[in-house]
Amino acid sequence: MKKISLELGSGGKSMRDFIARKIVPAFKNPHLAELLDASHLPGGIAFTTDSYVVDPIFFPGGDIGRLAVNGTVNDLVVSGALPQYISLGLILEEGLDWDSLEKILRSLKAAAARAGVVIAAGDTKVVKQGQADKIYINTSGIGKILARPSPDLIRPGDGIILTGTLGEHSLAILTARGDFGLEARVESDCAPLTFLLPFWKNGVFWMRDITRGGLATILSELAEQIPFPLLIEENRIPLSNAVRAAAALLGIDPLYLACEGRAVLIVPGRRAQDILARIKKCSLGKKAAIIGRVERAIGRPGELLLRTSAGGLRLLEPLTSELLPRIC
């Protein structure tokens, strides 16, 4: 009998195929079919849901509570909505210590306050020891639609802006797990992207938060939706020294590592510099950079190309196999 493999949840190609082949047809409706990070519903409401199973539940720069608020908030932001209310579903394993739970609740409260959302509904379940791992959280979120992402308006010459360095979240989780005997002073970038909301009014065509699958997977998905290739330049992609070194050591490409507080934006070419300057003024956007553009002359429609630091060109494919399970 065919069994579910970890790959299905990797955020890569197999997950996309699963959603397109099994989920969308099963519940056929126009909201789901759009496959946005949050669905746009009648009445100007955006709606999303996400479950958090990160292991370990506490890691440098955050914990499962902070992640559960910011992840859902960010899905609303990149779908063009102002996050307003979220729900909190807790699944606890029998035997979890009270101190951990209270710490996570405090963290949920602080993260909600920072992101400006109200935790307005909730549910708690406890399962027998071994039937879950400490704590899983589901949050759903509702937001007010400010703008509609419009990838159909993207044209050659438009700019690709990345709001910060890549891969800190993945590396923080790896370090916290003690995998590979790796030690690094690195904190997860887990943060709300609400500072990007005003930019929807500045002609931003499209935005995505960079989670599982990393920058390369997210941009190759966009490339498949539009009739122009995308080109990014390796030299312009901001990376911290810790991520650069750890990735080289482990043979992992930072372009496929997950973040929890970074986004990539497509903006009109003539406004790119101006938007970049304003993002850089925000505390979470200091390392932002224009990393590439929508192409016409190089590549073919559907392709995501990388200009390497040595000047060569190669194709970037979406992530195919699981890099690190239970990262969020």
Interface residue list for another protein (CB under 8 A): 7, 180-181, 251, 298-300, 303, 305-315, 317, 320-321
Q: Which is nearer to another protein, 133 or 317 (CB)?
A: 317
| Smallest separation (angstroms) from another protein to the CB of 307 | 8
Q: How far is the CB of 168 from another protein (least distance, A)?
A: 22
What residues have CB less than 8 Å from 171, skipping those under 6 apart?
184, 186, 242, 243, 246, 257
In terms of CB distance, is 23 or 313 closer to another protein? 313
Residues 82, 175: Cα–Cα separation, whole Å: 33
Closest approach of Cβ 310 to another protein, in Å?
4
Closest CA to 49 of 146, 167, 170, 140: 140
The 3-state DSSP class for residue 124 equals strand
CB of 54 to another protein, least distance (A): 23
Cis check for the bond before 56: say yes or no (omega within 30 of 0).
yes
23 vs 298, beta carbon nearer another protein: 298
Residue closer to another protein, measured from CB, 80 or 318: 318
Q: How far is the CB of 325 from another protein (least distance, A)?
A: 15
- Which lies closer to another protein via its Cβ, residue 88 or residue 316? 316
Q: Would you say 75 or 233 has its CB closer to another protein?
A: 233
* Shortest CB 162 distance to another protein, Å: 20
Rounded CA-CA distance 240/263 in Å is: 16
* Distance in Å, CB of 150 to another protein, minimum: 27
Q: Is the dihedral of CA 299, 301, 307, 308 positive or negative?
A: negative
| CA 235 – CA 227 distance, rounded (Å) | 26
Q: Are the beta carbons of 56 and 177 closer than 8 angstroms?
A: yes
| Closer residue to another protein, CB minimum distance, 27 or 180 | 180
Give the shortest CB-287-to-another protein separation in angstroms.
24
CA distance 248 to 239: 12
Q: Within 10 Å of residue 279's Cβ, how many Cβ atoms? A: 25
240's tokens = 């911290």
- Whichever of 63 and 253 has its CB closer to another protein, that residue is 253
Taking the CB of residue 85, how many other CB atoms lie within 10 A of it? 14
> What is the closest distance, in whole angstroms, from the C-beta atom of residue 306 to another protein in the complex?
8
3-class SS of residue 138: strand
Q: Which is nearer to another protein, 43 or 251 (CB)?
A: 251
Dump the DSSP string for 22-87: IIHHHT--HHHHT--SSEEETTTEEEEEEEE--SSSEETTEEHHHHHHHHHHHHHHTTTEEEEEEE
